[in-house]
């Protein structure tokens, strides 16, 4: 590895994601869509539990839950945010990422056209190989036993009131619907406000349904103006931009991180699997369909086949049994 080309990215102090797994007991239906703000460290499971450690809640979550909108909903449905980058292409990204089901190690990442994959050379050393990327749904490599591949969306934001102005939070999801909504909104915001920085925004939970979801509601994320009107939002953004300039602060970070990942192949695999493994997990069959888990579940009380992506079971079992004396018994991937 060329140490001079290591990618430099903003420090992420936490992760924002759809709370589609927590808060519902097995065999029950989670009816209230919400978000969760996670820290970067894990909390130990209950004594005697065989569960894997889960990410701890970030301290700012308690502050957010005390706001009027979240108090009224009884859940985290709204987060006031500001964009860290000024351009949409720097703020939001979407990739396919594949992991090994026996160790959770990253194997391949791509954009639906081109991919970079870790391969083993003749001398048993690992190297990066450029390969076509048709997408997880039709990729032969992604269908192999021991491989699980999913979409991963990442949006870089700052939460209003956070204690460190130089760090960020990463909004994570595997939902294509959330990506489409956020990508379109970021482009419109960039055009209307002459940039994304300092525009007062809210990240909100939303629900939609369509034929593909059998008209069952699924969760997605969207951005809204956090001001009475666009004119008022523009005034606030303008005041903040002028204040930064008057303070002598360089306020746009896009150029600093421009191309920071393109020269470092390892940046493609910089995500710790523990931060994203729940996107590969399968919910209980009784729970409703959730876009962030890209699965179809027959609602309780209705007849019909259950179609579930078993990649999550494979990885969860494999990671749990890694290092154990007996080999993992992995379930087969469902077609």
pLDDT at 220: 87
Average pLDDT of the residues of the chain: 78
pLDDT at 280: 67
Average pLDDT on 229-241 reads 97
Query: Any idea which of 39-48, 159-168, 223-232, 285-294 has the lowest mean pLDDT?
Result: 285-294
Q: Name the pairing type of β-strands 147-159 and 167-173.
A: antiparallel
pLDDT band of residue 261 (cuts 50, 70, 90) is: low
- Per-residue pLDDT at 100: 85
pLDDT-based confidence at 315, cuts 50/70/90?
Answer: very low
Decide if pLDDT at 115 tops 70: yes
Residue 87 DSSP code:
S
Evaluate whether 132 touches 114 at the Cβ level (below 8 Å): yes
Q: Is a pLDDT exceeding 60 seen at residue 313?
A: no
66 — phi, psi (to 5°)? Answer: -85, -5
**pLDDT value of residue 36:** 92
Q: Of the candidates 192, 190, 185, 170, which has an alpha carbon nearest to the alpha carbon of residue 223?
A: 185
Q: 245 or 297: which carries more pLDDT confidence?
A: 245
C-alpha span between 97 and 147 (Å, rounded):
10
pTM for this entry: 0.78
């Amino acid at each position: 590895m060329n140490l001079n080309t290591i990618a430099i990215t903003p420090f992420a102090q936490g992760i924002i994601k759809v709370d589609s797994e927590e808060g519902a007991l097995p065999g029950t239906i989670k009816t209230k869509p919400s978000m969760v703000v996670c820290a970067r460290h894990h909390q130990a499971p209950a004594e005697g539990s065989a569960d894997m450690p889960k990410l701890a809640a970030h301290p700012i979550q308690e502050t957010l839950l005390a706001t009027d909108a979240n108090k009224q909903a009884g859940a985290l449905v709204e987060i006031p945010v500001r964009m860290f980058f000024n351009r949409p292409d720097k703020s939001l990204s979407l990739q396919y990422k594949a992991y090994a089901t026996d160790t959770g190690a990253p194997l391949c990442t791509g954009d639906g056209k081109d991919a970079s994959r870790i391969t083993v050379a003749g001398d048993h050393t690992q190297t990066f190989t450029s390969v076509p990327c048709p997408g997880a749904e039709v990729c032969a490599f992604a269908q192999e036993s021991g491989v699980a591949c999913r979409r991963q969306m990442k949006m870089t934001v700052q939460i209003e009131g956070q204690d460190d102005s130089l760090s960020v939070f990463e909004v994570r999801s595997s939902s294509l619907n959330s990506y489409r909504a956020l990508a379109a909104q970021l482009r419109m915001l960039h055009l209307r406000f002459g940039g994304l920085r300092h525009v007062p925004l809210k990240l909100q939970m939303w629900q939609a349904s369509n034929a593909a979801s059998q008209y069952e509601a699924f969760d997605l994320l969207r951005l809204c103006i956090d001001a009475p009107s666009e004119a008022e939002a523009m005034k606030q953004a303008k005041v903040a931009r002028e204040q930064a300039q008057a303070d002598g602060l360089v306020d746009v970070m896009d150029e600093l991180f421009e191309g920071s990942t393109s020269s470092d192949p390892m940046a493609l695999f910089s995500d710790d699997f523990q931060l994203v493994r729940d996107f590969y997990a399968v919910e209980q069959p009784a729970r409703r369909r959730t876009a962030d888990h890209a699965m179809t579940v027959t609602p309780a009380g209705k007849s019909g086949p259950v179609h579930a992506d078993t990649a999550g079971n494979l990885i969860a079992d494999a990671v749990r049994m890694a290092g154990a004396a007996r080999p993992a018994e992995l379930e087969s991937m469902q077609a």
